[in-house]
């Protein structure tokens, strides 16, 4: 098991990648502390992990609130005595073309997506230092490399998060704390399925036509699943990436390839 006995904190768990990552980390032997704003979903996911015979605690977490960020990390330490890994997956989505955008809304997305991750990192770092090191993984997006109309409020905070990844990697390396990011593309799961259904409805085209249009842009010929994308995060949390820090990994089936 890649994460045997590691204590992993995951913020922003949801019905897509967050849920699949939680279940995969548990399967790989991690002890988990998970958080998000939706308490009903959080309780259901916590029960699902426990039903599989794994160890997990949870705490309702709005990453805009430093107290709630601290509470999630504290729940991990209280239950399991340490923190070895942190995954920042919380984000806020507000699609709008720039000319029509309310920049206060854009600032709010920055507060969640980028500064929320920084709050979580500040909460976890003291415990990682005590543990002799750790791994922070920031979930980013291919859209920081491949622009799409109306996605600025999503992509710009993620791009800032990638710069934060490199800055933290530089500053925290002396504590053996690694900081990396995963650049997710299309991920087949509940959120993307809902989005593509929305595109199909808006355009009047069959859903399969919309899916085929996406797939034609992906060299591997398929939309990566949430399950497969979650494995890239587990890699960064595991000891297999012990000498990797400050990296941004493309996880998109080849739709975007770094030069």
Q: How far apart are CA 182 and CA 189, in angstroms?
A: 17
Is the same domain home to 172 and 214?
A: no
What digits encode the pLDDT tens for the residues 94-141?
888 899 999 999 999 999 999 999 999 999 999 999 999 999 999 999
Q: How far apart are CA 52 and CA 153, in angstroms?
A: 37
Is the same domain home to 230 and 126?
A: yes
- Residue 257 inside a domain? The answer is no
Instruction: Locate the DSSP E strands across 59-188.
Output: 85-88, 134-141, 177-184
Contact 183, 249 (CB under 8 A): yes
Any bridge partners for residue 96, and if so which? none
Q: Can you give the residue range of the structural domain that contains 82?
A: 7-186+225-251
Q: Is 175 helix (H, G, I), strand (E, B) or coil?
A: helix
- Residue 259 inside a domain? The answer is no
What digits encode the pLDDT tens for the residues 17-58?
999 999 999 999 999 999 999 999 999 999 999 999 999 999
Q: How far apart are CA 226 and CA 231, in angstroms?
A: 9
Q: Is 95 helix (H, G, I), strand (E, B) or coil?
A: coil
- Residue with structure tokens 């980028």? 114
Is the same domain home to 129 and 207?
A: no
Q: Which 8-state DSSP code applies to residue 9?
A: E
The mean pLDDT value of the chain amounts to 95
Is the same domain home to 116 and 206?
A: no
- Residue 256 inside a domain? The answer is no
């Amino acid at each position: 098991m890649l994460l045997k006995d590691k204590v992993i904190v995951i913020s922003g768990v949801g019905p897509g990648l967050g849920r699949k990552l939680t279940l995969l980390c548990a399967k790989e032997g991690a002890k988990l502390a998970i958080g998000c704003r939706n308490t009903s979903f959080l309780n259901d996911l916590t029960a699902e992990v426990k039903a599989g015979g794994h160890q997990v605690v949870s705490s309702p977490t709005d990453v805009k609130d430093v107290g709630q960020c601290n509470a999630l990390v504290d729940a991990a330490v209280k239950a399991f005595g340490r923190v070895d890994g942190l995954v920042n997956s919380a984000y806020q989505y507000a699609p709008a073309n720039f000319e029509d955008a309310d920049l206060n809304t854009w600032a709010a997305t920055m507060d969640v997506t980028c500064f929320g991750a920084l709050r979580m990192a500040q909460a976890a770092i003291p415990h990682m230092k005590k543990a002799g090191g750790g791994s922070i993984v920031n979930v980013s997006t291919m859209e920081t490399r491949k622009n799409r109309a109306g996605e600025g409020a999503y992509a710009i905070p993620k791009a800032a998060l990638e710069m934060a990844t490199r800055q933290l990697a530089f500053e925290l390396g002396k504590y053996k704390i690694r900081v990396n990011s995963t650049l997710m593309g299309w991920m087949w799961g509940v959120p993307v399925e809902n989005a593509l259904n929305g595109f199909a409805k808006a355009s009047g085209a069959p859903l399969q036509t919309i899916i085929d249009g996406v797939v034609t842009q992906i060299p591997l010929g398929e939309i990566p699943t949430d399950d497969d994308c979650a494995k890239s995060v587990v890699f960064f949390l595991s000891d297999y990436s012990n000498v990797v820090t400050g990296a941004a990994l493309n996880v998109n089936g080849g739709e975007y390839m770094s030069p």
